[in-house]
Amino acid sequence: MIYTNLCQGEIFLDLPMKAFCLNGNNGKIKLTIDEVFGFPDNTCMEDGYDFIGHLDIYVGCYEVHCVKFCSSTGVLYRLLAGLQLIYQTLEGTAEYRHLYENDFQFIVKMTRFGHANITGSFHEFPHLSNEFTFEMETDQTCIEKAMNDLKAVERAFCDAMGK
């Protein structure tokens, strides 16, 4: 939800805000936006706005919980565009990837009959060799739910900018 103080022209976002939750058969990836920087005046190099949030990855018996994960809404917009394309065509890939960082990334690849495979990795400290790699299966219905989450983020930030 967006709040506007009409007297001073300030725009407030209702945070924390769910960026997306991508469920799979044996896990899920969930990202929440907790704090946004530069909004609404200054966009970042990734396009959109930088933010800090919670990242949770669950795959089988393995879990990652990062409470100060840095990302940008531009990365979310690119993921949404990719998911919309593979959802409509039932083929291809969509990816969550930063342009300048490699701490967290994943690819959603459509397989057959509306099913998809998600592969990715997370580095808490990219300069170290510790890496959590994961793979899970999902389907078209879970992709649709994640797209709806991402569309809500897009509406919140674009509506606030008057676009």
pLDDT tens sequence across 90-133: 999 999 998 888 899 999 999 989 999 999 999 988 788 889 99
Backbone angles phi, psi at 63, to 5 degrees: -140, 150
Displacement of CA 159 from its chain's centroid (Å): 19
CATH classification code of 2-160:
2.30.31
- 141-160 per-position pLDDT tens digit: 999 999 999 999 998 887 54
Residues 114, 140: contact at Cβ < 8 Å?
A: yes
Q: Is 61 left (phi over 0), alpha (psi -120 to 50) or beta?
A: alpha
Element (DSSP H or E) covering residue 160: helix 140-160
Burial status of residue 103 (CB atoms within 10 A of its CB: 0-12, 13-18, 19 or more)? middle
Residues 124, 121: Cα–Cα separation, whole Å = 10
Average pLDDT of 60-80?
95
